[in-house]
Amino acid sequence: MKCIINRRAKFSASHRYWLPELDEAGNQQLFGLCSRFPGHGHNYELYVSLEGELDKYGMVENLSTVKKVIKEEVTSQLNYAHLNDVWSEFQETLPTTENIARIIWQKLLPHLPLVKIRLYEHPELWADYQGKDMEASLTVKTHFSAAHRLALPALSLEENTAIYGKCARTNGHGHNYHLEVTVLGEIDSRTGMLVDLGALQQVIDDLVVEPFDHTFLNKDIPYFAEVVPTAENIALYIAQLLRSPITELGVELDKVKLIESPNNSCEIYCRQSASGQNIAQEREPAIAV
């Protein structure tokens, strides 16, 4: 039986998004504030996932060995460094989060049975890479606050209470929702970018955060006049809102995760199915009855 283990590591480094073949105006247009000289820095958090059979000692890999390899091949070289100048790969393709994850995979693959690299630039932005050429995913995390009531309009208060419990109370209740939007695409071989991050954030803000924030979902969002705004239905609706605009940015909506509370969350997987249809479109909004 195979097992996946994860090892965390950290490093602090700076980088700059700048292409010498472009002038200052061109770099500013493409990279915005990230083009400023001499660069900016992050406290990166790295998760290295390994897969394998358990050996006679009950391990996939000796964690002391894993720690040593990660330090020698990655963190000792990148910690407190200017990434553009450390590895030659970053002369060819800029050190974006997604491209750093890709190159880390290449550095570690000869030594460890990798299954995934996850790199956090900060808690609200991270990239995943799984060894598929230039394909990677990027996740943006954001939040909004909203109230809702779980009740089917056709049912009585007693009937709704039997289904939804306290969530059926007539005046509703609120949550601080956390939303994770994951997109999948190809890393540009020169810029290192999967997608224009500013444009992606703008789409999420315009279509979800601004319309949903500080609302009573049942009354302020027309979709939920008849559809019960469970976490599942909210996530599904967000996926439907974002799918086409994100496709227009040149990437594919991969997953929407909605965290309603520390105890409750749900995920909608949105990639194309074998039939070519979008998974989020194949099922009707789930209304509990």
Q: What is the pLDDT of residue 271?
A: 80
Catalytic, 210? Answer: no
Confidence of residue 272 (pLDDT cuts 50, 70, 90): low
CA distances 97 to 32, 81, 193, Å, are 16, 15, 8
Q: Reply yes or no on whether the pLDDT at 15 is more than 70.
A: yes
Please give the mean pLDDT across all residues of the chain.
Answer: 93
**Other CB atoms within 10 Å distance of the CB of residue 277:** 10
Catalytic residue among 98, 121, 232, 260: 260
Tens-place pLDDT, residues 86-98: 999 999 999 999 9
**Other CB atoms within 10 Å distance of the CB of residue 220:** 14
Superfamily of domain 1-131: 6-pyruvoyl tetrahydropterin synthase/QueD (3.30.479.10)
Tens-place pLDDT, residues 191-213: 999 999 999 999 999 999 999 99
Catalytic residue among 40, 143, 173, 214: 214
**Cis amide linkage into residue 38, ω under 30° from 0:** yes
Question: Which residue, among 233, 275, 274, 272, has the nearest Cα to 255 in the 3D structure?
Answer: 272
Query: What is the per-residue burial (b if ≥16 Cβ within 10 Å, else e) of 108-136?
Result: beeebbbbbbbbbbeeebbbbbbeeebeb
Confidence of residue 184 (pLDDT cuts 50, 70, 90): very high
pTM, whole model, 2 decimals?
Answer: 0.92
In angstroms, the CA 112 to CA 238 distance is 38
Tens-place pLDDT, residues 125-176: 999 999 999 999 999 999 999 999 999 999 999 999 999 999 999 999 999 9
In angstroms, the CA 173 to CA 16 distance is 45
Confidence of residue 1 (pLDDT cuts 50, 70, 90): confident
Tens-place pLDDT, residues 29-85: 999 999 999 999 999 999 999 999 999 999 999 999 999 999 999 999 999 999 999
- Of the candidate CATH numbers 3.30.479.10, 3.30.420.40, 3.40.50.1000, 3.90.1150.170, the domain formed by 132-289 belongs to 3.30.479.10
Strand (E) positions, 16-108? 40-53, 81-82
CATH 3.30.479.10 location in the chain: 1-131, 132-289
Catalytic, 98? Answer: no
Length of the chain as a residue count? 289
Catalytic, 260? Answer: yes
CA distances 50 to 47, 70, 111, 112, 129, Å, are 10, 12, 11, 7, 13
Catalytic residue among 61, 82, 89, 167: 167
